[in-house]
Structure 1
Amino acid sequence: MSAVAELHRIHAGTSPPPVPAARGHRGSDSYDHIEPLFAELARYDATDPRRTALREQVIRRCLPLAEHIARRFTGRGETFDDLLQIARLGLLHAVDRFDPAHGAPFVAFAVPTVMGEVRRHFRDHTWAVRVPRRIKEIQQMLGPTTEALTQRLRRAPKAREIAEELGVDLVEVTQALIANNGYHTTAIDAVTDTENDTAPQSLLDLLGAEEPEYRIVENYLAVKPLLAALPERERRVLISTFFESRTQAQIAQRIGVSQMQVSRILSNTLKTLREQALRD
């Protein structure tokens, strides 16, 4: 049985009848002072039906903890039902991994375990586009950090201040802020509401036509540093040909070579520029 199906069954109350509680349990629904039940769990063999029943009893008592943590993560783009399911899965892991022999209370172990499960869900499964894991982790810290700094500074914090508070590089914080735009996307053909009485339109309908001059600008930006890196003679041949509209004979006379050499220089230079531009 999968963990999700098991949790649904436990929550629905279809589990086997509970066994008598360990000493110290007063029959409340609280998950406080639950460590004696874990001590009793440790005494049963994994295949013992009494252990299965007691384990499910422990999980049912701890379900409010998962709900409390799920509510802390609401308002971040995921439904409460989805968050609750993830939190309950984290609770299941916490119950199975907790060792009462270490002496720590169960809640101190369960809370970071459940919260870690929810945070991993946000980090790995709720992004509409691919974002590096490091940037996802920083993005998850932006909200609480920004809120804390806003209260302390009595104004919205700057990216530099957020970076200092988190102890990370300013570039990473900037990338995380930009990455917020990749958390959710809208289909380009999705219909949007309009403020006037016109018929609803999709984002695609509102986009302008492609500007053909953009390609010229892109080509210019790609070739400019390559031109600057050319030797002086090759650069003079290109400028004279394409910017000053000189003939090869005029260029040959100007730089003191034959017209055949100018043709060869121009051909080789254009070939080199083309290969470098396409490679970059």
Structure 2
Amino acid sequence: MSTRTRTEPSDTKQAGVARRSAPDGIPEIADPLSVSTVDARTLSASLFKRLATLEEGTAEYSYVRNTLVELNLSLVKFAARRFRSRSEPTEDIIQVGTIGLIKAINRFDAERGTEFTSFALPTIVGEIKRFLRDTSWAVQVPRRLQELRIDLARARDQMEQHLGRCPTAAELAAHLGITDAEVAEGEQAANGYIARSLDAPVDEDDALSALTRGLGNEDPAFDVVEAVASLKPVIASLGERDRLILSLRFGEELTQSEIGARLGLSQMHVSRLLAAIYARLRAALLDEASS
């Protein structure tokens, strides 16, 4: 079996597990942290089969589970690298990620034929994200708003998987049983989640560096504001139904099917109506530009 030289003796401590001699009938793995990634997957598959036959709380069960944690600690480090730009110490993130790894081991069912790596990584990343949501507030905000932000983030993740798109504010409000104003308040509170000094060095790998690179550039949103101002008289001249369709499409961000359900129209009919409205608005903008 291939191995690599162990260079991080503190990993066992970070994982929060203790090494002990292998019980009878279970092969001894002297140093799980030094096992290569390929061998770790092979050993993990065998250990998961053995774990399923053991009674939880026994010495054998604890040994196998702790060995699985150490064999797969590289998954935690891999997930932690996604958050290396955060202000929290890497050691804390790894510690929290290890909790996610343990949860994944406890929940994993080898009989389903799923690769453990594919099963564990979302659990590890989710545990780290929850930790960061609870602790990474750059500006102090009321606890109520912190919890509201977490609820909104979780609901958005769940609904996005179910709907196949990002939910609207109205859909989030209905899902959580709160008002649209409370949704807006929670999203505004998220602005206090992370702050960064404008004097900080620019890191090309950091998405926040786009802020410093864009300072002094013309904001393209000015064109949008000007276009909206030009369209106000045209929108006011539209019929009541056309104005309602625009409000539902761009105000509440409903899909064509949802608008049709709201108004008792087919999705195709809504599509034709929107196309006609867009054409009228586009012609008005072109006339404004030429004049």
TM-score where L is the length of structure 1: 0.45
Bigger-Rg structure (1/2): 1
